[in-house]
Amino acid sequence: MKKIPFLVLLIGLFQTSANNLTISNVSLTGQDAANDFTLVEFDLSWDNSWRLGSRRDAAWIFVKYKIGGVWKHATINYVDGTASNDGHTQPSGSTVETPSDGMGVFIYRDADGNGTNSFTGIQLRWNYGTDGVMDDDIVDVQVFGVEMVYVPTGSFAAGSGGTGVNEFTLTTINTGLATTTPAGSGSHGGQAGGYPTGQTSPNNDSWPNGYNAFYCMKYEMSQDQYAAFLNTLTRTQQNTRTGTDVSTDAITNVYVMPNTASVSFRNAISCPSSGNGTVSPITFSTATPDLACNYINWDDGVAYADWAGLRPFTELEFEKACRGTATPVADEYPWGTINLHTTLYTLANAGTSSESISNMGVGIGNASYNTINPSPNGPIRCGIMAASATNNTREETGATYYGIMEMGGNIEERVISIGISSGRAFTGLHGNGTLDSSGDANVTNWPSSTNGLRGGSYQHQESNMRTSDRIYASASNSNRAAFMTFRLARTAP
């Protein structure tokens, strides 16, 4: 039997120190040359996991491989989505769930509980023959992970009934048919800033309006995640997905997202200043891997989504992820109240994996916005509010109904907008793991160049953080800005 004769083990450490998601001990085992598959084995752990009934967090796990110089996406076996039938091995205490497109798996605890997950000896069946890999090819394999939160199917309210003019008219979304999306009122809620005149809904019923179940990233994209993404691209693709021209051997503006010679607004993703050549990919790194990643434009974010087998999410999914099934509170923030800390934050251990806030508001909502954002100016660590909280309540940690972090403040998040025609054409397709040769996403009916913004940022006033605020929901901003990032989703299997 021919076997894959050589494997470079690439150990992944991804996500943030908030939950310390770690992938280690990656190997290939159990090759079946007759049926063209092998097992990708690894260990997986992350802190502060939870499950309570249908409410849970999970890790989205996907595999990349290369033969020679180009990283490609591995196809994971799917029969009916269960590990036993799909040929996977799930350790005790875990559930492995495979979507039908084989882009990856969701792994989560199999019973109620909370704390650290530590799963050893996970095995995923990789159908390498489907991917065109030969039995005796020499391959490198890398395993990636993104922490997600499950948002179950169910009705929810869009709009809060608040005093502002920038909301949807308060409406209950009780069906998955997107043509039932809410109308709006005011300059940004419904017509001029929300929908064009005469257009009050998406033009297809595959548009994800939040009713049906989906997974949402627990945190905003981190600098570590984006640097790891860049490190799997070709040189041409890297040049497209960075702000700096990285096509030359010598590079002056080594901080490649803001296109500067020094750190700008805390974005420290960088490349070497010389010795880069002009053909081979560059290796990027960041001194602040756990900080949320700013300077992400629309095309950067959807490229990451396509590469990871995820998708952008809609502004109604944003509201569902924040509010859940709770009765709306007028002008509420993502933590479900209008209570808000107003004293300037102070950072401890700034820039490190243990960055925290030393003067958190106790018994009140916490988020980073313009008048209280700490120094140095810029985004703070993913999950910092939960890590710094005294009482660990939803309000104090700034968590949404489902436990998703920093949906209000820190960095503004790009969403699929109903108020832009290309947004209304979105049909919810997922990424296929492959970018075009230039480094752009190429999924049918994904909006390109620009779309809406939600959630406010460290540069915005507190009202922009409100769950239902739509003042920038139709903003046309394609720049790599210091206050913009991405959070991604995937429709639940």
Q: How far apart are CA 124 and CA 102, in angstroms?
A: 11
Q: Compute the mean pLDDT over every residue in the chain, rounded to the nearest whole number.
A: 91
Helices (H), 377-455: 384-388, 394-397, 421-424
14: confidence class by pLDDT, cuts 50, 70, 90: very low
Q: How far apart are CA 203 and CA 375, in angstroms?
A: 45
In angstroms, the Cα distances linking 124 to 29, 98, 215 are 10, 10, 20
Q: What average pLDDT does range 400-429 have in this prediction?
A: 92
Q: What is the pLDDT of residue 178?
A: 77
Q: Which has the closest alpha carbon to 43: 104, 101, 124?
A: 124
Q: How far apart are CA 28 and CA 41, in angstroms?
A: 6
Q: What is the pLDDT of residue 165?
A: 66
In angstroms, the Cα distances linking 152 to 66, 129, 253, 315 are 36, 35, 44, 17
pTM over 0.85: yes
Is the pLDDT reported for residue 8 higher than 70?
A: no
Helices (H), 417-489: 421-424
Q: Name the residue with higher pLDDT: 179 or 155.
A: 155
- pLDDT tens-digit map of 291-319: 999 999 999 999 999 999 999 999 999 99
- pLDDT tens-digit map of 225-281: 999 999 999 999 999 999 999 999 999 999 999 999 999 999 999 999 999 999 999
Q: What is the pLDDT of residue 204?
A: 85
- pLDDT tens-digit map of 109-152: 999 999 999 999 999 999 999 999 999 999 999 999 999 999 99
Q: What is the pLDDT of residue 196?
A: 42
Q: How far apart are CA 284 and CA 269, in angstroms?
A: 7
Percent of the chain with pLDDT over 70: 91
Q: What is the pLDDT of residue 184?
A: 57
Percent of the chain with pLDDT over 90: 81
Q: What is the pLDDT of residue 11?
A: 38
Q: Are 119 and 107 in contact (CB under 8 A)?
A: yes
Phi, psi of 482 (to 5 degrees): -70, -10
Q: Which residues pair with 311 in a beta bridge?
A: 489
- pLDDT tens-digit map of 188-221: 444 334 444 444 578 788 999 999 999 999 999 9
Q: How far apart are CA 363 and CA 429, in angstroms?
A: 40
Cβ neighbours of residue 315 under 8 Å, at least 6 residues apart?
415, 416, 417, 418, 452, 454, 470, 473
Q: Are 385 and 397 in contact (CB under 8 A)?
A: yes
Angle at 314 between CA 309 and CA 320, to 5 degrees: 110
Helix, strand or coil for residue 287?
A: coil
Angle at 188 between CA 187 and CA 193, to 5 degrees: 95
Q: How far apart are CA 369 and CA 411, in angstroms?
A: 9
Q: Angle at which helices 298-308 and 223-230 pack, to 10 degrees?
A: 70
Q: What is the pLDDT of residue 423?
A: 87
Q: Which has the closest alpha carbon to 269: 250, 243, 297?
A: 243
Sign of the Cα pseudo-torsion (424, 429, 433, 434, in order): negative
Q: Are strands 156-158 and 71-73 parallel, antiparallel or unpaired?
A: unpaired
Is the pLDDT reported for residue 346 higher than 50?
A: yes
Q: What is the pLDDT of residue 200?
A: 57
Q: How far apart are CA 123 and CA 88, in angstroms?
A: 5
Residue type, 143: V
- pLDDT tens-digit map of 53-110: 999 999 999 999 999 889 999 999 999 999 999 999 999 999 999 999 999 999 999 9
Cβ neighbours of residue 377 under 8 Å, at least 6 residues apart?
265, 266, 458
Is the pLDDT reported for residue 38 higher than 50?
A: yes
